[in-house]
Structure 1
Amino acid sequence: MTDFAIGLFSLMAMGGLVLGGLYVPIALILCSLIGVWAIKGNLILATKMLGLAANDAISSYFFGVIPVFVLMGFIVSESGLGRDAFDVANAMFKRIKGGLGVGTIAANAIFAAITGISIASAAVFTKLAVPELRRHGYSDRFAVGVVAGSSVLGMLIPPSLLLILYGLLTETNIGDLFLAGVGPGLMLALLFGLGTVGMAMFASGFIGRNLSADSEAPTTRELLSKGLPIAGLISLVLGGIYAGVFTPVEAGAVGTAGALVLGMIKRRLAWSGLWRVMVETGMITASICFLVIAAQMYSRMLSFSGVPSGFGTMVTQADLSVLGLILLYCFVVILMGMILDSGSIMLILVPLMLPVVTALHVDLVWFGIITVLAVEVGLLTPPFGISVYVIKATLDDPTISLKDIFIGAAPFAAIMLVSLGLVIAFPFIATGLLGR
């Protein structure tokens, strides 16, 4: 059996194991070990080579960006800044038809700019926004759908854990990726808002027929006390990165300290909550590092087998254009999003596609934004749809089924496909701020 055939067999075996329910990193490591063993013919050599891959995978200083941003996101969530963002956004858009829905989207965009974790956004705004939306006449399906849809902004608007993961996998500058995510992220939030207003005007049966805006308006002082700390934290983290004052790792650490200070000043951060945040941060960081190690092993095995270069040769011989390749890639990513989580999709496909798109001189920053947008669609599509399951678990309401949440999120998944098409057709949406 040739090395190329071994690589293909390993890919098929890995896919079968994942679909069979085996944890993705375990499937990657197992297939990588067996694949390298079959290629090199020596088990000891295979274990040593994969051991070196594991060491190389997370030895970089820039891997420190993972725990600091995860910690900052959890502290922000625990200290109630998500509620503040919702109150401010709701006050800004309450006079628009469907304004509470638009306010939920705006609040999620703000929250995304200080957390970067879609799951955290989904959990926080399920508790904050869904009861308020239902109380003001919005339908159950729309109430959970708008939270599910807008929660994905956390994976695109910087700082984003998916962009960090992509940057580490492809050795692309994380600051550039963050800057490139601003345009598409704001565009997606704007399209979500316009879509909500459009549904309020032309699909009142779906969004709700008797929308009210009779909540008591907060005072200017209350809005400033809630909005200024959030604006300050966003400016500190993202402004520091873009101005060149901080590296992404340093910005995450400074942002974590800032979120901690805000939580203490507002007296919303108890010792029990801080301990829970630390434990959850450690668990997520360990999980992400394990995923990255497995992906590095998998990437080494693919390189030894020659599958990426062989795939690139086939693409060249097929005379497939860059646009055709990107469209095919997005189609595969969206299909995989129906059965796998976001990180797993990136870990499986990005190492496979990286040599191909590099050979075709594709801008890796643009390709990263396309990848994250396509992956995000999978957060809302059945049967997996991790954001949908988080909302269902957080809501704990038997009257709202998973089917209701998926139906409610469907218009937002369609809007995301439109955004993906726009970024593919007009790359400057992503790269314009980089001057490319």
Structure 2
Amino acid sequence: MDPLMIALIVAVFTLIVLFSGIPIAFGLSFVSIALLIVFEGFQMLDVFAETFYAGLNSFVLLSIPMFILMGMAVANSPAGKDLYTGLDRWLWRVPGGLVISNIGACSIFAALSGSSPATCAAIGTMGIPEMRKRGYSDQIATGTIAAGGTLGVLIPPSIVLIVYGMATGTSIGRLFLAGIVPGFMLASLFAVWALIHSYFIDKNAAKLLRNRKPPTLREKFEVLPRIFPFLAIIIGVLYVLYGGVATPSEASGVGAFLVFVMIAVVYKIYQPKKIWNIVKVSMKESVMIMFIIAASYLFAFTLSQLYVTQSLAQSMIELSSNKWMIFLMVNVFLLVAGFFLPPVAVIVMTSAILLPVITTLGFDPYWFAIVFTINMEIGLITPPVGLNLYIIKGITPDVSLSTILRGSFPFMMMMVLSIVILCIFPEIVTWLPDKLMGKPLGY
């Protein structure tokens, strides 16, 4: 059978299985086994266990549960509240300062936790009621946190970038470096929209700001000693990674240990029951991600075995002689995929197909990784999956999902703008990793 016809069958069958509600890892495994049996015969069952195990047989994968543990320890402490409070007190005079404070808190918390849902839940629980109380509209209050939470998949250490590195064989350290400047550029674009909204749209919030009692200098400084240790840990983890002092697995392990020490020292969280709850939640999320990675490895093997990956890559290249037209089609495909599937699933299912196309066209693979990730960020705040939308809905049950979506829309446009900026100035992504690690071989 023609490989492109097989690709169509694979796509339809996979979508039917995933839309049935079955967990992604089980769905990918079932699809892979069924396709191998149908097209290659029952003898392919002999390679199932070996291929599934090979998807997890990597020392680098140890960094995923360690970074998740690190993030969950922060998320289950008052660190998010302190970040938010500190930024709010320092930015209180700025128009839209409370919105910007929430965006800043999301950026820093994203770097601490590496998780978009954790960032949304931790900052949103405090930030949304406060913004609403001070006169900000429901749209801007909920949309800010929904969009700010997405920064967790871009600003390192990011679980999504680790999974991308594993799926594509690219350097995780270089991916982390590539994500720093675009991550904070995107946070700045969010802040720009907050200023525009406050100056030209939300006059009521500006009026309430003038009546607010200014925080004292003592109030501004009292929260800083509780924030700085966690920022120091993040800086230390990034330094040892980029300085070649430690591997991602070693850095994440030490980082997780130090975060546990800090929450015990700073917030007195050392009771065995609380520690076990953090470990339990981290273990559950880690197993889920690892299972998806193993299943995706089997899925990628199936696509390669049936010559689907190679045929699709060649067909996309032959479809248009203009590399930017192909790139546009890839972006549209990623956006649509992000509407229905979580970032990890999209990465493990599509990166093996898309990366050969991108590199053949002459695009930098690390630049594409960041563009890919921003597309996944948009998927986090768009229905029907839109994980962040539902987290915000859980925090504010009295606000309709359509209101949250309307509040998120301007931030989506900022994400699209950031992709355009990165296309015009790819050095925003490549400059820092090239400066610190040198240019990768072949580019």
TM band (smaller chain): over 0.9
Instruction: For residue 39 of structure 1, report the CA deviation from its aligned partner.
Output: 2.8
Residue number among 60, 63, 68 corresponding to 2:61 in the alignment? 63
Q: 2 CA distance for matches of 1:23 and 1:320?
A: 39
The answer to whether the Cα contact below 8 Å between 2:134 and 2:205 also exists between their aligned partners in 1 is: no
Instruction: For residue 207 of structure 1, report the CA deviation from its aligned partner.
Output: 6.8
Match of 1:95 in 2: 93
Match of 2:10 in 1: 10
The answer to whether the Cα contact below 8 Å between 2:74 and 2:259 also exists between their aligned partners in 1 is: yes
Match of 1:136 in 2: 134
Instruction: For residue 257 of structure 1, report the CA deviation from its aligned partner.
Output: 1.2
Instruction: For residue 254 of structure 1, report the CA deviation from its aligned partner.
Output: 1.2
After TM superposition, the structure 1 stretch with the greater mean CA deviation from structure 2, 259-268 or 114-123, is 259-268
Q: Evaluate the alpha carbon distance shift between residue 416 and residue 195 of structure 1 in structure 2; reply closer, same or farther with a 3 A threshold.
A: same
Q: Secondary structure in 2 aligned to 1:58?
A: coil
Q: Evaluate the alpha carbon distance shift between residue 130 and residue 268 of structure 1 in structure 2; reply closer, same or farther with a 3 A threshold.
A: farther
Instruction: For residue 301 of structure 1, report the CA deviation from its aligned partner.
Output: 0.8
After TM superposition, the structure 1 stretch with the greater mean CA deviation from structure 2, 114-123 or 12-21, is 12-21
Match of 2:184 in 1: 186
Q: 1 CA distance for matches of 2:203 and 2:350?
A: 40
Match of 2:416 in 1: 417
Report the residue type matching 2:224 in the other structure. L
Instruction: For residue 37 of structure 1, report the CA deviation from its aligned partner.
Output: 1.7
After TM superposition, the structure 1 stretch with the greater mean CA deviation from structure 2, 32-41 or 139-148, is 32-41
The answer to whether the Cα contact below 8 Å between 2:178 and 2:366 also exists between their aligned partners in 1 is: yes
Instruction: For residue 183 of structure 1, report the CA deviation from its aligned partner.
Output: 1.0
Residue number among 194, 197, 203 corresponding to 1:196 in the alignment? 194
After TM superposition, the structure 1 stretch with the greater mean CA deviation from structure 2, 403-412 or 227-236, is 227-236
Q: Evaluate the alpha carbon distance shift between residue 215 and residue 138 of structure 1 in structure 2; reply closer, same or farther with a 3 A threshold.
A: farther
After TM superposition, the structure 1 stretch with the greater mean CA deviation from structure 2, 369-378 or 262-271, is 262-271
Residue 407 (1) aligns with residue 420 (2): no
Map 1:49-198 → 2, pairs under 5 A:
49-198=47-196
After TM superposition, the structure 1 stretch with the greater mean CA deviation from structure 2, 328-337 or 14-23, is 14-23
1:219-249 CA distances to partner (integer Å, 9 max, x unpaired)?
A: 2541431332132112111122122222111
Match of 2:260 in 1: 260
Runs (5+) with no aligned partner, structure 1: none
Runs (5+) with no aligned partner, structure 2: none
Q: Secondary structure in 2 aligned to 1:337?
A: helix
The answer to whether the Cα contact below 8 Å between 1:119 and 1:151 also exists between their aligned partners in 2 is: yes
The answer to whether the Cα contact below 8 Å between 2:95 and 2:206 also exists between their aligned partners in 1 is: no
Match of 2:21 in 1: 21
Q: Evaluate the alpha carbon distance shift between residue 107 and residue 90 of structure 1 in structure 2; reply closer, same or farther with a 3 A threshold.
A: same
The answer to whether the Cα contact below 8 Å between 2:136 and 2:202 also exists between their aligned partners in 1 is: no
Residue 232 (1) aligns with residue 232 (2): yes
Report the residue type matching 2:163 in the other structure. L
The answer to whether the Cα contact below 8 Å between 1:8 and 1:307 also exists between their aligned partners in 2 is: no
Q: Evaluate the alpha carbon distance shift between residue 348 and residue 209 of structure 1 in structure 2; reply closer, same or farther with a 3 A threshold.
A: farther
Residue 311 (1) aligns with residue 309 (2): no
Q: 2 CA distance for matches of 1:125 and 1:195?
A: 19
Instruction: For residue 197 of structure 1, report the CA deviation from its aligned partner.
Output: 0.5
Instruction: For residue 4 of structure 1, report the CA deviation from its aligned partner.
Output: 4.8
Report the residue type matching 2:341 in the other structure. L
The answer to whether the Cα contact below 8 Å between 1:139 and 1:208 also exists between their aligned partners in 2 is: no
Residue 337 (1) aligns with residue 338 (2): yes
1:382-425 CA distances to partner (integer Å, 9 max, x unpaired)?
A: 222100101222x1x44212122111111111111111221122
The answer to whether the Cα contact below 8 Å between 1:6 and 1:38 also exists between their aligned partners in 2 is: no
Q: 1 CA distance for matches of 2:59 and 2:272?
A: 30
Q: Secondary structure in 2 aligned to 1:300?
A: helix
1:158-196 CA distances to partner (integer Å, 9 max, x unpaired)?
A: 000110110010011100000000011010011111110
The answer to whether the Cα contact below 8 Å between 1:151 and 1:387 also exists between their aligned partners in 2 is: yes
Q: 2 CA distance for matches of 1:155 and 1:218?
A: 34
Q: Evaluate the alpha carbon distance shift between residue 206 and residue 145 of structure 1 in structure 2; reply closer, same or farther with a 3 A threshold.
A: farther
TM-score in terms of structure 2 length? 0.93
1:245-293 CA distances to partner (integer Å, 9 max, x unpaired)?
A: 2211111111111111111112342332211110111111110011001
After TM superposition, the structure 1 stretch with the greater mean CA deviation from structure 2, 21-30 or 327-336, is 21-30
Q: 1 CA distance for matches of 2:352 and 2:251?
A: 28
Report the residue type matching 1:142 in the other structure. I
The answer to whether the Cα contact below 8 Å between 2:161 and 2:175 also exists between their aligned partners in 1 is: yes
The answer to whether the Cα contact below 8 Å between 1:7 and 1:35 also exists between their aligned partners in 2 is: no
The answer to whether the Cα contact below 8 Å between 1:6 and 1:35 also exists between their aligned partners in 2 is: no
Q: 1 CA distance for matches of 2:240 and 2:217?
A: 31
The 4+ residue runs of structure 1 with deviation greater than 4 A are 205-209
Q: 2 CA distance for matches of 1:81 and 1:230?
A: 8
Q: Evaluate the alpha carbon distance shift between residue 160 and residue 305 of structure 1 in structure 2; reply closer, same or farther with a 3 A threshold.
A: same
Q: Evaluate the alpha carbon distance shift between residue 10 and residue 236 of structure 1 in structure 2; reply closer, same or farther with a 3 A threshold.
A: same
Q: 1 CA distance for matches of 2:337 and 2:382?
A: 10
Q: 1 CA distance for matches of 2:357 and 2:204?
A: 44
Q: 2 CA distance for matches of 1:145 and 1:386?
A: 13
Instruction: For residue 3 of structure 1, report the CA deviation from its aligned partner.
Output: 5.0
The answer to whether the Cα contact below 8 Å between 1:138 and 1:211 also exists between their aligned partners in 2 is: no
Report the residue type matching 1:87 in the other structure. T
Q: 1 CA distance for matches of 2:274 and 2:415?
A: 35
Q: Secondary structure in 2 aligned to 1:338?
A: helix
1:286-313 CA distances to partner (integer Å, 9 max, x unpaired)?
A: 1001100111111011111111211222
After TM superposition, the structure 1 stretch with the greater mean CA deviation from structure 2, 188-197 or 198-207, is 198-207
Instruction: For residue 208 of structure 1, report the CA deviation from its aligned partner.
Output: 7.2
Instruction: For residue 22 of structure 1, report the CA deviation from its aligned partner.
Output: 2.8
Report the residue type matching 1:242 in the other structure. Y
Q: 2 CA distance for matches of 1:141 and 1:215?
A: 26
